[in-house]
Structure 1
Amino acid sequence: MSLAAAEALPLSRGRRALYAVPVLGQVARDIAKDVDAAVYAVVIFVTLVILAVMTWGLPALVLTAVTLVPVMFVLLIWVTLP
């Protein structure tokens, strides 16, 4: 299926909701068009965490880890699905 044919399909309700979020929607659209954008997004996130830890210290690292716990739970459940 070509990219033009994939864009012609109607979007699901979840994808439309994700695309409606201002910052995350733009990133999600970029990743849908080019998978390499996901690598850039991860690099930007890691850079922001490093800058936050350099600025605010350990609380920034702890808050980042706490906010990533649900993400890791979802990834672990997704990996273990049959």
Structure 2
Amino acid sequence: MTAIEMPRRLPIWQRLFYGIPLLGWLARDAAEGEPEDLVYTAAAIFSMWGCSALLFGLPGLYIPAVLMVPIMFLILILISRG
């Protein structure tokens, strides 16, 4: 017998989410990487947002902000519940 540890198998929703080409890589790196990788992930997200504003103009700036509103509502509800 050997003492080899098998890597844990991720749930199906995580495997599907991590399979998305750019977002999955950023999410996996932020969740399972080094602590400074979270800073690099945030910088990459803000850079993508800035590039969309340069490419598409004001809709590229406003639409991601409007799409973040339900996420912020959820965060505020979770904070208020304790």
Q: TM-score, normalised to structure 2's length?
A: 0.65
> Shift of the alpha carbon at 1:41?
1.6
Alignment of 1:2-81 (within 5 A): 8-31=7-30, 32-81=32-81
Aligned residue pairs total: 77
Write the deviation string for residues 26-63 of structure 1: whole angstroms up to 9, x where unpaired.
11221212232221121122223233334443222211
| 2: CA distance, partners of 1:51 / 1:25 | 19
Please report how far the alpha carbon of residue 70 of structure 1 lies from its aligned counterpart in structure 2 after TM superposition: 2.2
Q: If each structure's helix is expressed as a fraction of its own residues, which one has the higher value?
A: 1
4+ long deviations beyond 6 Å: none
The SS at the match of 1:64 is helix
Unmatched 5+ stretches in structure 1: none
The structure that has the greater radius of gyration is 2
Q: CA RMSD in A?
A: 2.5
Structure 2 gaps of 5+ residues are none
